[in-house]
Structure 1
């Protein structure tokens, strides 16, 4: 079965754009893989992840899926996008952590229809 692709320039009704989360209903998110300084113990990794979730994700009303090397971050609220300001807050928080060597953030991308757009 072929995956459906959605042409951004196709004419659609407002109801359909909302249902497909296109146009004015598009939702944006981003990925932010990191390189750790070294191999962390299980306790140190859990502590870093707990701090990240509490201070960078939940504090900004975001949702996080994945791990350190592959992840995606979106808004927790229904039908809202991550703003550039909030994206930068998460990146700054990650860069401030001594356990993290490098941060590789993506630009804001379409959270529903692929990360290549």
Structure 2
């Protein structure tokens, strides 16, 4: 797989092409998330609702699944909101502050369109 954001490739593309391909200044970053919950079903439902509200409050979205106490997915941008290291840190801190989380691992920022996750 070639680097979608290589300098040589970006030089050949005009702004419209970079936007269509989501590269250069139009690159969209996100991060993966895996967490284990240690609570009953009712508490996990309440946690999941709170998590999705926290994500929505930052103007981003979460896609993934929750099965048997395991939350696995990716946080990705919506519309013009960019995911930065600060936004990632805020969401990770929110999760770390929750008593329902037994274990959590958040990946580094990655290109959601051109990375394997």
TM-score normalised according to structure 1 size:
0.81
Aligned counterpart, 1:82: 83
Give the CA deviation at 1:52: 1.0
Contact in 2 for aligned 1:32/1:91 (Cα 8 Å): no
Runs of 5+ in structure 1 lacking a partner?
Answer: none
Aligned counterpart, 1:16: 17
Deviations 1:79-100 (A, max 9, x none): 4420111111110010111110
Note the 1:35-114 alignment, pairs <5 A. Answer: 35-37=36-38, 40-54=39-53, 56-67=54-65, 68-76=70-78, 78-114=79-115
* Whole-angstrom CA distance in 1 between matches of 2:98 and 2:32: 18
Contact in 1 for aligned 2:34/2:73 (Cα 8 Å): yes
**Between Structure 1 and Structure 2, which shows a larger proportion of strand residues?**
2
Residues matched between the structures, number: 109
Contact in 2 for aligned 1:34/1:100 (Cα 8 Å): yes
Q: What secondary structure is seen at the aligned counterpart in 1 of 2:90? A: helix
Which runs of 4 or more aligned residues in structure 1 lie more than 3 Å from their structure 2 counterparts after TM superposition?
4-7
TM-score normalised according to structure 2 size:
0.81
Answer with 95-104 or 9-18: which moved more.
9-18
Across the aligned residues of Structure 1 and Structure 2, the Cα RMSD in angstroms comes to 2.0
Runs of 5+ in structure 2 lacking a partner?
Answer: none
Contact in 1 for aligned 2:59/2:81 (Cα 8 Å): no
Answer with 81-90 or 60-69: which moved more.
60-69
